[in-house]
Amino acid sequence: MITAIASRVEVMKWMEDFVHEKMTEFLKSVEDSWQPADLLPDARMENFFEEVKNLQERARDLSYDLLAVLVGDTITEEALPTYESWLMSIKDLPTNEESPWMKWNRAWTAEENRHGDLLNKYLYLTGRINMREMEASTQYLIADGFDLQTDNDPYRAFVYTSFQETATNLSHRRVAQIAKKQGDGMLAKLCGYVASDEARHAKAYKAFVGKIFEADPNEMMLAFEDMMRKKIVMPAHYMRELGVDMGKTFGHFTDAAQRINVYTALDYTDILRDLVKEWKLETVTNLNDAGERARDYLTALPDRLKRVAERMKAPQLEYKFRWID
Among 198, 216, 241, 270, binds Fe ion (CB under 5 A): 198
Which is closer to Fe ion, CB of 115 or CB of 128? 115
Catalytic residue among 86, 92, 108, 115: 115
115 is in an annotated binding site: yes
Q: Could you confirm whether 172 is annotated as catalytic?
A: no
Q: Could you confirm whether 150 is annotated as catalytic?
A: no
Reference 257, options 179, 314, 217, 295; nearest CA is: 314
Q: Under the criterion CB under 5 A, does residue 73 sit at the interface with Fe ion? A: no
Closest distance of CB 143 from Fe ion, Å:
20
Region binding Fe ion by CB under 5 A among candidate stretches 10-18, 65-73, 115-123, 128-136: 115-123
Instruction: Give dist(CA 102, CA 99) in Å, integer.
Output: 5
Q: How far is CA 231 from CA 128, 129, 251, 268, in A?
A: 35, 32, 16, 10
Q: Under the criterion CB under 5 A, does residue 111 sit at the interface with Fe ion? A: no
Among 8, 115, 240, 295, binds Fe ion (CB under 5 A): 115
Q: Could you confirm whether 112 is annotated as catalytic?
A: yes
77 is in an annotated binding site: yes
DSSP 282-317: GG--S--HHHHHHHHHHHHHHHHHHHHHHHPPPP--
Q: Under the criterion CB under 5 A, does residue 112 sit at the interface with Fe ion? A: yes
Instruction: Give dist(CA 249, CA 237) in Å, integer.
Output: 9
Which is closer to Fe ion, CB of 115 or CB of 259? 115
Region binding Fe ion by CB under 5 A among candidate stretches 28-36, 195-203, 205-213, 309-317: 195-203
Q: How far is CA 137 from CA 9, 119, 191, 237, 324, in A?
A: 37, 15, 21, 12, 13
Q: Which three-class secondary structure state does DSSP give residue 34?
A: coil
H or E element: which one contains 138? helix 131-144
Q: Which of residues 142-171 bind Fe ion (CB under 5 A)?
A: 165, 168
Catalytic residue among 34, 51, 133, 278: 34
165 is in an annotated binding site: yes
Closest distance of CB 273 from Fe ion, Å:
21
Catalytic residue among 65, 73, 77, 270: 77
225 is in an annotated binding site: no
Catalytic residue among 73, 111, 197, 267: 197
* Close Cβ partners of 4 (under 8 Å, ≥ 6 residues apart): none
Instruction: Give dist(CA 40, CA 118) in Å, integer.
Output: 8
Cβ atoms of 221 and 215 within 8 Å: the answer is no
Cβ atoms of 48 and 235 within 8 Å: the answer is no
User: What is the DSSP-derived secondary structure letter of residue 281?
Assistant: G
Bind-site residues = 77, 112, 115, 165, 198, 201
Binding site for Fe ion (CB under 5 A): 77, 112, 115, 165, 168, 198, 201
Bind-site residues for Fe cation = 77, 112, 115, 165, 198, 201
Catalytic positions: 34, 77, 112, 115, 165, 168, 197-198, 201
